[in-house]
Amino acid sequence: MIDTNKSVATELAIVDKDAMELVYSYPTVPLTVDCVIFGFDENALKVLVIKSDLAQFHGQLSLLGDNVQSNEDLDNAANRVLKQRTGMSNVFLEQVRTFSKPDRHPGGRVVTTVYASLLNIKHHELLLHDNELKWHAVNQIQEMAFDHKHILDVCTQWLQKRIQEHPLAFNLLPVKFSLRQLQNVYEAILDVKLDRRNFRKKFAAMGFLNDTDEMETHVTHRPGKLYTFDFVQYQQKKKNFIGIDF
Amino acid sequence: MIDTNKSVATELAIVDKDAMELVYSYPTVPLTVDCVIFGFDENALKVLVIKSDLAQFHGQLSLLGDNVQSNEDLDNAANRVLKQRTGMSNVFLEQVRTFSKPDRHPGGRVVTTVYASLLNIKHHELLLHDNELKWHAVNQIQEMAFDHKHILDVCTQWLQKRIQEHPLAFNLLPVKFSLRQLQNVYEAILDVKLDRRNFRKKFAAMGFLNDTDEMETHVTHRPGKLYTFDFVQYQQKKKNFIGIDF
DNA sequence: GCAAAAGTGTTGTCCTTACACCCATGC
DNA sequence: GCATGGGTGTAAGGACAACACTTTTGC
């Protein structure tokens, strides 16, 4: 029963005090975020990495990470880290997973929440180059600092699944693109070779492509037709749309 | 260049000290795990909830959660919480997402990582009943403590997607089950009628079913064969396994 | 014997795959 | 004219959907 002699304000204060005491009793842990920024360029899937700060991992590649500030949520932390490390903003980051093995960081226990994104390298010029910030081809990375190679592998699988469920690929292309460009995206991300004729048939059947009457120009071969992605058709057909299977 | 006057041991010690100092400089945060245990019974999707401990949320439903201990990874913490709250062990928990809004807990900042599972209510008798631990129908829960309703919604969506990609349905069945029982689960969850012969063929082809030499008993019709789920086969074939499409 | 569900094969359709030749452009 | 990739059709095989009758048990 509520004691009606107490004001509502007092009641709340006491209640909050209980909750605060509870929270104070919890052990606390250093928290970081790491960003796995995938990019597509020159027909290869790349990822944005730096050289590790730590002497222990001297020369090794590391994801873009930092600790989470005291009153910052993880989404904000990830966006802040990305901006601080690369100068990029307005990147759509998605939370992938939280990694928490107690020995994953040599300096002691650190829990990290990983965010990933996929963007067009040409549309996001790197403004900073601290710690040798660079794009590396994903399939050429053998070793990384911490557990970052494992994290990268998890994120690569995440991306491969994600791109088959959702047409993220179109984000990587200009508004008008050729089927070859589209196919390159899928081949690079899924790490497979696809048959050109079957690929065209599949996308033709999906009906998300609008045929412009334009062609490629200044290419050293027969120019291909240019298409646009039909967002309206996609939204309408989305409910019946299971995915893109190769 | 490495200073060859230093022993390797000294070098490592210095390196570790750098890493430790770095980690000590990070702010720390109270971390919890919450478990969203879905159950299927009487043709309804249910979830295991308790009444909140906090006076502020008096009478409101809460997920099963606790703080993460100092040297425990999140997977272990989730399993421990589940065991402490319900007595259950050997439940396959999957990490869903980490929630971190600074104001999500009235006692101050608490970051929580959420795990979910799906199991058969009848095969997991609740051994404890503290805080009125009970199964509630998911679609009848309007309000919960903290941001737990939001978390539940996220997990429900996660489950609907997940069950189409992975054979979680086996979690809902006894160790030995008939094909009819298996088919009932899929029909109920996917809300479709399936052809018995095609259903059997599909699962036979997948090779995850072990034929026991036992039959149903005490049924008022011809008894069916009982099968077990072959976890080993599933793990091996998993990489090629795309999903269960009906 | 009757009700109720188990068990079992075949066929047509559709989707996926594999595969080869001519065409348009830049140089 | 030659190098480069664009554009196109067809056939075989595999997966899926549709479909009906006989069998085994409890009552």
Q: Least CA distance to B112: which residue of chain A?
A: A98
CA distance A165 to B170: 25
Q: Which residues contact B205 (CB under 8 A, 6 or more apart)?
A: none
CATH of region A31-164: 3.90.79.10
Asked if the Cβ–Cβ distance from A98 to B98 is below 8 Å, we say yes
**Chain B nearest CA to A218, separation (Å):** 41
Find the helix or strand (DSSP H, E) in which A225 lies. Answer: strand A225-229
Q: Within chain B, which residues score under 50 in pLDDT?
A: 1-9
A246: confidence class by pLDDT, cuts 50, 70, 90: low
Query: Taking the model in full, what pTM does it have?
Result: 0.85
Residue nearest to nucleotide C20 (CA to C1'): A197
* pLDDT tens-place string over residues B68-89: 998 899 999 999 999 999 999 8
Residue nearest to nucleotide D9 (CA to C1'): A197
CATH 3.40.50.920 fits B168-240, yes or no: no
How far CA A204 is from CA of A180, A188, A214, in Å, comes to 13, 21, 17
| Strand D nucleotides in reach of protein CB atoms, 7 A cut-off | 3-10, 16-20, 23-27
State what percent of residues in chain A have pLDDT above 70: 89
Can you give the pLDDT at residue B212? 93
Asked if the Cβ–Cβ distance from B108 to A74 is below 8 Å, we say no
Q: Which of A6, A26, A190 to mutate to test the interface with B (most CBs of B within 10 A)?
A: A26
Let me know: does A34 contact A47? Beta carbons within 8 Å.
no
Tracing tokens 């966006």 back to the chain, one arrives at A79
User: pLDDT: is A7 or B153 the higher one?
Assistant: B153
Q: Where are the domains of chain A?
A: 31-164, 168-240
Per-residue pLDDT averaged across A161-182, rounded?
A: 88
